[in-house]
Structure 1
Amino acid sequence: MTILPSALFLPDHLQLPESDGTFVKNFQEHPQSLLLTDSIAPHLQRLHPDGQYCIGQDSGIYWRLPTPPEPLYRGAESPDWFFVPGVPPNLKGQFRRSYVLWQEIVSPLIVLEFVSGSGEEERDRTPFRGKFWVYEQAIRVPFYSIYEVEKASVEVYHLVEGQYALLAPNERSHFPIGPMAVELGLWQGTYQNVELPWLRWWDLEGNLLLTGDERAAQKEALLVQERERAEREQARAEQERERAERERERAEQLAARLRELGIDPS
């Protein structure tokens, strides 16, 4: 039996650095990642009832061994958000410190980058160094999205025959991600007390995938509507009962009057 060299010599996620020491670039990035994860979680649970998938947020994806003497060839990228289907949520019972391709084998299905500067870094096609090149040629991610909050814009690229092709939005200005059965697009609204054109998910029918708070608020609104409907039905039933009572009283008064006149009411 042949033993792969990687199983013997290459480091795993516990031996590689889990951080490059850089700060998150702005206050919007963390809530944006939470919004994406929170809203798509129930959908992914239905799509993967076996629970075999994982989500990374500002976590490293190692595609080659890092080479400390050559800092520009670090061998890893840290997307702001990415999704991998068909892998366990934990690795051998341990939380992942990073996603190591020679250990995991399966590439992410989609990576999302949130632009804080000019966007040049996210579109850099320099071999072995540029993010665009690494996602396209090294990691080979099927879908790559670049989100620029300041410009209220989003681009989605699809890997076709080894090259990224820019996707066109559909009639809802969303980008369908077929394998995930969702659409990606911009939503103008307030999340965590900040109004922005947030990056969000919809289902393929154009229904917004809601966060836990939104689902709870929707459920509460439906309960209020149901309670108000029940109260209206109760009020109508009471009005009908009172009407029937008045009709009965009038009928009894008429019968009594007829009897006074010597007429049999029946």
Structure 2
Amino acid sequence: MTSTVPSPNPTLPNHTQLPESDGSFVKNFQEHPQSILLTDSIEPILQERHPNGRYCIGQDCGIYWRMTEPPERGAEAPDWFYVPNVSPTLGGQVRRSYVLWQELIPPFIVLEFASGNGAEERDRTPLFPEEGGMQKPGKFWIYEQVIRPAFYGIYEVSRASIEVYHLIEGQYQVIPANERGHYAIAPLGVELGIWQGQYQNVELPWLRWWDDQGNLLLTGRERSERLAAQLRAAGIEPEV
């Protein structure tokens, strides 16, 4: 028997027809630098993995998973996520959101930066009807049962801790930390962990990537600074 991949439904709205914001604002000054740090340092890995450039990264962008009224009630906006094998633009336009019923490919990894104790990010309340409409289910339930990224990470900023889940047979299983205190994302050959250091002029514990040998994945600036130091050590003054 031959199975076919379902096609996007042309009668449903696409990313240009759905709200790109629910009007909320970033909860603290660390969120945007944290997302940029994750993206900057993993880009070389993703570019090697996708030489055709077919992947996208979302930072505090909506993932639409069902039609609701208002539409933004049917979306989650992870702080950071990566989707393989999709174009970074659609029809020559920058994505306004990621619409599951148009794309059909789930994110590979979703990361949430919990400003509180992580209760919202661990909420497993299922979808069920209530008087006056449909109650929005818990975030954990939505990721596990509907959006279904292979990996889901909850970074508790106040505790500088990360909890990572792997989707196995339809349910999230907690990934144990390895001997380095990191959490392996084996299909990508990387690990997630906490790094204490200075980034964008702020000394904090930051969520960062390492390779599977325990080497920190550097940002573009860090790579340039390391190369300059190596040149100076060899007696060569780097060009400015």
Under a length normalisation based on structure 2, what TM-score does the superposition of the two structures give? Answer: 0.89
Counterpart of 2:52 in structure 1 is 50
Question: Counterpart in 2 of 1:32?
Answer: 34
CA separation in 1, counterparts of 2:123 and 2:100? 22
Say if 2:151 and 2:166, in contact at 8 Å, map to a contact too: yes
Q: Shift of the alpha carbon at 1:141?
A: 1.1
Q: Measure, in 2, the Cα distance between the counterparts of 1:5 and 1:186.
A: 40
Provide structure 2 residue ranges, at least 5 long, that are not aligned to the other structure.
Answer: 1-5, 128-136
Q: Alignment partner for residue 197 of structure 1, among 193, 205, 216?
A: 205
- 1:213 matched residue in structure 2: 221
Task: Render the CA deviation track for 1:82-130: whole Å, top value 9, x for unaligned.
Answer: 0001111111221110000011110000000001112111111111321
Give the Cα–Cα distance (whole angstroms) in 1 for the partners of residues 15 and 22 of structure 2.
Answer: 14
Q: Hey, what does 2:167 align to over in structure 1?
A: 159
How is 1:99-118 mapped onto 2 (pairs within 5 angstroms)? 99-118=98-117
Q: Following the alignment from structure 1 to structure 2, what is the Cα–Cα distance between the partners of residues 44 and 172?
A: 23
Give 2:126's aligned residue.
Answer: 127
Q: Name the count of aligned residue pairs.
A: 222
Structure 1 residues 120-160: Cα deviation after superposition (integer angstroms, max 9, x where no partner): 11111111321100000011111000001211110000011
Q: Do 2:113 and 2:156's aligned partners in 1 also have CA atoms closer than 8 Å?
A: yes
Is 1:178 aligned to 2:186, yes or no? yes
2:24 to 19, 22, 25: 22
Q: Summarize the Cα distance change of 1:205–1:20 in structure 2 as closer, same or farther, 3 Å threshold.
A: same
Shift of 1:8: 3.0
Q: CA RMSD in A?
A: 1.5
What are the superposed Cα offsets for residues 240-259 of structure 1, whole Å, 9 maximum, x if unpaired? xxxxxxxxxxxxxxxxxxxx
Shift of 1:6: 5.1
Report the counterpart of residue 11 of structure 2 in structure 1: 9
- Overall identity of the aligned pairs, in %: 67
For residue 77 of structure 1, what is the amino acid of its counterpart?
E
Partner Cα separation in structure 2 for residue 67 and residue 164 of structure 1: 29
SS in 2 for 1:179: helix
**Counterpart secondary structure, 1:114:** strand
1:240-255 matches, within 5 Å, as none
Instruction: Report how far residue 48 of structure 1 moved.
Output: 1.2
Q: What TM-score do you get using the length of structure 1 for normalisation?
A: 0.80
Which residue identity lines up with residue 171 of structure 1 in the other structure?
Answer: E
Larger Rg: 1
Q: Deviation of residue 5 (structure 1)? A: 8.7
Contact map agreement 1:149 1:196 (CA 8 A) in 2: no
**1:92 to 1:179, Cα distance in 2 relative to 1, 3 A:** farther
Q: What is the distance in 1 between the residues matched to 2:140 and 2:53? A: 30
The answer to which structure has the higher strand fraction is 2
| Structure with higher helix content | 1
**Equivalent-residue separation in structure 1 for 2:120 and 2:68 (angstroms):** 19
